[in-house]
Amino acid sequence: MSRKQKEIQETIENRDRIHVVMFFLSYIFLFLGIGVLACIIHIQTSFHVDDKVIGLFRPSSALHVEHPVRGRILATDGRPLALSAPLYDIYMDCTVKKQYYKESGKDSLERAWRNKARELGVYLSNQFKDKSADQYASAILKGRDNNNRYLAIRKNVDLETVKLVKTFPLYREGTYAGGIIVERHEERIYPYDSLARRTIGYVKDISRKGLEDSFDSELHGHEGYEWRRVTDNNRWVRDLDSTVVAVQDGNDIRTTLNVDFQDIADRALRAQINENPDVRAGICVIMETKTGAIRAMVNLSRGETPQTVLWERENLVLTETGEQGSVMKTATLLSLVEDGHVKSLNQTLPTNNGWVYNWRKPGSASEYPHDDHISDYQRKTGRRDITVMHGFEISSNYVFAQLAETYYGKRPQELFDHLYSYRLGEAFDFDIEGLRAPSVVRPGTPAWSNNTLGTVAYGYGLSITPLHVITFYNGIANRGRMMKPYLVESVEKNGKVLKKFVPSALNESICSPATADTVTRALRAVVNSGTATRLRGAKLPVAGKTGTARVVLSNGQYHDASGRKKNQGTFVGFFPADKPKYTILVTVYSYLSSLSFYGGTMPALAVRDIVDQIYALDEEWRPELHPTGTVPVMNNEK
Amino acid sequence: MSLGDLWNRFRRGMRSLRNGEFLLKVGADKFYMHIMYLFLLMWLSIMLSLKVDKTLSRVGDNKAAIEELRIYHAQKEAQLVKLHSASTAERRLRELGSPVSIPKEPAIIIKKK
């Protein structure tokens, strides 16, 4: 026997209790190892397990997605224009306990249940006042007879009402005995209903419009995720061993809209167009002159049929491109004065019986339609010349076509360069998506003809949106500085400003201040003695221009076979004329109609109403009363 | 060690288990403090786990209460804001037969000397 074998033999003979335990344990682990190996082979090859068994082994936790609260859209003074809160639908399982009462033969309990249902009907009727108590009771009892498990009781009720309804007879017994089912759904609440609704926009499923769409990334927030597990008390709690992504509620958007101005404009416009079935739509925009902040944007329309009520259906301010008519004469006048072609508003030009002189073919017929305003003017005054000022006051197409042909006939691009500098030839960035790009017939293009220049000069041949028009007029009111219109002034979180949007200029100088003053004088004359005299005597002096345009129909003409036309009447201007604070535009659109609509009628009257009300409301014009004597001081004021 | 010895040891082990002397037989009394410490740790772990569950349940309840208050606040705010518009105020005044209406002139500011 070798030495080593001897040592082993001695070890075996002398092994103590620890050795035995270790041997024992090693065998246990050996068997366990063999077992684990066998299990692995079995699971990998032939093991099939029931889903129920898997369920038992699966940890009782589930992924919970927490949805953020959508941010609010606020007016400039902080009043909410849109906010999020859930509403509730109340249903009823009419079959509760029915089977149990039937099987256990407890007819008295069934009768008691039915009596409570009748009592519930009284309470529901008193609460909702939409059906009688009998109607409610019979619906519930009929539902019980017909095994209706989902009878709609009332939809879109608030939390307070739900809590109250839960105290009603039968419902106070809970879901399993009373059958009440309350379903919650998130709703976007617009407290002012239709007011500025198209500007604010809406959220419906995945569809969004207006500011709700443009600022969705700010308003939406971020979803939160957490795993939840069931406790021994059957409560779902956060699983602290898992990853948690905290929910982030959406940010608030503070707009430039003034609820009071919006309300005033909405009412004034409705007052003018509500009773007139020929009116298809009406819009109004009020812009702060210095900043370009939009204080009100009204878009009322009836849709395709006159029978429907006025509602904010589409944002016509941004999308209704069209020839704006005489309001664009101001652009021509501004260009003429700025270029020095019109040195004085009293400068005269021959009336030529209302026919624009054809300088291309002297002696030939005019390329423009006749202007009846000039014939009337000649008849009334006996004069054969007319001042630029008076031509502007009476909105003569002849005067502006003649001026354009005289001064820009050989270089039409000069006038168009001005129009582009007024941003009338392109869309600009705006807080709501969808601002339509203008359509301009440019010199040298196939659509250009001999009379395009003149028609552009008096407002046709240039298709733009109302937002372009008011932005341009605001530039004049602001003495040449054309501000970029904007609707959102800041992004906030719990009152703290995260982002601030400051006013910016689209064009720092569309004209000199002197030119702007001259044109303002002409605009003032339109109100005092021109086509907008309905605004004379408004509580604040207004300067502005009317425009009446015919809309091109699908047949390419301005009227249909029976002579009916689609009109649009506009008034655009600013007030107070001497120190403008607000720029305003009102346009009224008609259906196909045999009637004519003028900018000096409904739009001007609406503007007057708005100006008068803003005057009474805006603190800018509050008079101060200074005491002339000594005011006695009371003891408690010392 | 023969099989007979093992069997004898097994029998002695079983007997000591029956007599409640097993831990003493294997000398576990030397590890008494460790076993008590382990027991304490397990008890603490279970107790803390139950406490955490209870706290998390309360957090859930409070969260639900806060959410309910938020909903209530938002709904009340919407109702109040609706009443705050000039049109609504004017309509309500008219319905109530009040001679008060929206001002036609701006308010006068009285300045102190």
- Is residue A421 assigned to a domain? yes
Helix (H/G/I), strand (E/B), else coil: A323:
strand
pLDDT digits (tens, 9 = 90+) for A30-60: 899 999 999 999 988 888 878 888 777 766 7
pLDDT digits (tens, 9 = 90+) for A54-81: 777 766 788 999 999 999 999 999 999 9
Are A167 and A271 in a shared domain? no
- Residue B94 to chain A, least CA–CA distance (Å): 16
Which of A15-29, A260-274, B22-36 is modeled with the greatest confidence? Answer: A260-274
Are A98 and A77 in a shared domain? no
Among A228, A255, A282, the domain-final residue is A255
Q: Which member of B57, B68, B110 has the closest CB to residue A231?
A: B57
Domain that holds residue A120: 94-178
Distance, in Å, from the CA atom of A522 to the CA atom of A514, rounded to the nearest integer, reads 13
Q: Is the dihedral of CA A331, A332, A333, A336 positive or negative?
A: positive
Q: What is the pLDDT of residue B39?
A: 94
Ranges of each domain in chain B: 11-95
Look at residues A509, A425, A460 and name the one whose alpha carbon lies nearest to residue A327.
A460
> Is B102's CB within 8 Å of A616's CB?
yes
Are A221 and A350 in a shared domain? no
- When pLDDT is averaged across residues A73-91 and rounded to a whole number, the result is 94
List of chain B residues whose C-beta atoms are within 8 Å of the C-beta of residue A624: 108-111
| Residue A622 banded pLDDT, cuts 50, 70, 90 | confident
Q: What is the pLDDT of residue A300?
A: 95
- Is residue A441 assigned to a domain? yes
> Is A69's CB within 8 Å of B113's CB?
no
pTM for this entry:
0.82
**Listed range (A129-143, A316-330, B13-27) with the worst mean pLDDT:** B13-27
Q: What is the pLDDT of residue A8?
A: 64
Q: Which member of A83, A615, A624 has the closest CB to residue B78?
A: A83
- Residue A56 to chain B, least CA–CA distance (Å): 21
Among A255, A283, A304, the domain-final residue is A255
pLDDT digits (tens, 9 = 90+) for A299-354: 999 877 777 788 898 999 999 998 999 999 999 999 999 999 999 999 999 999 99
Q: At what angle do helices B86-95 and A259-273 cross, to 10 degrees?
A: 60
CATH number, domain of A76, equals 3.90.1310.10
Q: Which member of B72, B106, B109 has the closest CB to residue A616?
A: B106
> Is A79's CB within 8 Å of B84's CB?
yes
Look at residues A162, A326, A192, A375 and name the one whose alpha carbon lies nearest to residue A267.
A192
Report the number of distinct structural domains present in chain A. Answer: 3
List of chain B residues whose C-beta atoms are within 8 Å of the C-beta of residue A235: 53, 57, 60
List of chain B residues whose C-beta atoms are within 8 Å of the C-beta of residue A263: 85-87
- Residue A623 to chain B, least CA–CA distance (Å): 5
Please check whether residue A529 is in contact with residue A393, taking contact to mean a CB–CB distance below 8 angstroms. yes
Please check whether residue A596 is in contact with residue A548, taking contact to mean a CB–CB distance below 8 angstroms. yes
Are A522 and A596 in a shared domain? yes
Share of chain A above pLDDT 70, in %: 97
Q: Choose between A587 and A303: higher pLDDT.
A: A587
Report yes or no: A68 at the B interface, CB cutoff 8 Å.
no
- Residue A406 to chain B, least CA–CA distance (Å): 48
Please check whether residue A547 is in contact with residue A459, taking contact to mean a CB–CB distance below 8 angstroms. yes
- Is residue A29 assigned to a domain? no
Look at residues A468, A476, A452 and name the one whose alpha carbon lies nearest to residue A420.
A468
Are A174 and A288 in a shared domain? no
> Is B109's CB within 8 Å of A626's CB?
no
> Is B86's CB within 8 Å of A264's CB?
yes
> Is A240's CB within 8 Å of B86's CB?
no
Are A291 and A167 in a shared domain? no
Are A241 and A381 in a shared domain? no
- Residue B36 to chain A, least CA–CA distance (Å): 23
Q: What is the pLDDT of residue A616?
A: 93
- When pLDDT is averaged across residues A260-264 and rounded to a whole number, the result is 95
Which of A48-62, A255-269, A366-380 is modeled with the greatest confidence? Answer: A255-269
- When pLDDT is averaged across residues A274-282 and rounded to a whole number, the result is 89
> Is A238's CB within 8 Å of B71's CB?
no
Q: Which member of B56, B87, B107 has the closest CB to residue A622?
A: B107
Are A202 and A325 in a shared domain? no
Report yes or no: A195 at the B interface, CB cutoff 8 Å.
yes
- Is residue A102 assigned to a domain? yes
Across chain A, mean pLDDT equals: 90
- Residue A530 to chain B, least CA–CA distance (Å): 27
> Is A624's CB within 8 Å of B108's CB?
yes
Are A115 and A77 in a shared domain? no
Question: By CA distance, what is A620's nearest residue in B?
Answer: B106
- When pLDDT is averaged across residues A246-257 and rounded to a whole number, the result is 96
What is the amino acid identity at position A352?
N
- When pLDDT is averaged across residues A380-406 and rounded to a whole number, the result is 94
